[in-house]
Amino acid sequence: QVTLRESGPALVKPTQTLTLTCTFSGFSLSTSGMCVTWIRQPPGKALEWLALIDWDDDKYYSTSLKTRLTISKDTSKNQVVLTMTNMDPVDTATYSCARASPGSAFDIWGQGTMVTVSS
Amino acid sequence: SYELTQPLSVSVALGQTARITCGGNNIGSENVHWYQQKPGQAPVLVIYRDSNRPSGIPERFSGSNSGNTATLTISRAQAGDEADYYCQVWDSSTVVFGGGTKVTVL
């Protein structure tokens, strides 16, 4: 059974750096074709894709956010970490990770973690 | 950058057919994926690569893609189909989501 779970702070202050961890099970990110991606959703708004890392350590970022994002993986721990710098209240959202394959769909999602940016 | 356009809302009578469109420039040449999201829940993949259903997704859900429009069709709509639906494509090594469509079953 494939599962993903997001963890991180529920509250961050403006200008701080957010660090989120996606811990997964049921698949290996060292397997060819496997990827993990991050998506966020502000309250009441649409899904927004953030970043993706693949089994070969290739990384892909949202064009509008790429200067603020870093994605990395620890294959031995089955974890993917996303950092987002210079947080702002508009970054308040539920942040989710999902399993993916390059060019394909996000077939399994975590439940997401709500992050509020406020002083 | 590539944009996907969805209607904000679609209403369908119980037992009837709902069609949710996703517009994009020559989207017919892309693989389109569809997600269902119910309030307070994570999105669920309902159609991948235009017209394929993951295991566990009812046959009532189908998809098509041609020209500048991809379509998710929900046949024999049920109350449990009320949700937000998002289309998604890959474009130049980035991912694009549509703005989402709220489906209401009357």
CB contact under 8 A, A47 and B43: yes
Largest CA distance in chain A: 43
B8 vs B99: CA distance, rounded Å: 8
Note the pLDDT of residue B35.
Answer: 98
Residues of A in contact with B44 (CB under 8 A): 109
B90 CB within 8 Å of a chain A CB: yes
B2, B91 Cβ separation under 8 angstroms: yes
A91 vs A14: CA distance, rounded Å: 9
Contacts of A67 (CB under 8 A, 6+ apart): none
Note the pLDDT of residue A103.
Answer: 74
**Average pLDDT of the segment spanning B53-67:** 97
B29, B22 Cβ separation under 8 angstroms: no
Note the pLDDT of residue B1.
Answer: 87
Radius of gyration over alpha carbons of chain A, in Å?
A: 13
Note the pLDDT of residue B3.
Answer: 95
Note the pLDDT of residue A27.
Answer: 94
Residues of chain A where predicted confidence (pLDDT) is lower than 50:
none
List, for residues B16-59, the tens digit of each pLDDT value. 999 999 999 999 999 999 999 999 999 999 999 999 999 999 99
Note the pLDDT of residue B93.
Answer: 86
B41 vs B82: CA distance, rounded Å: 13
CB contact under 8 A, B42 and A111: yes
Note the pLDDT of residue B10.
Answer: 98
A5 vs A34: CA distance, rounded Å: 17
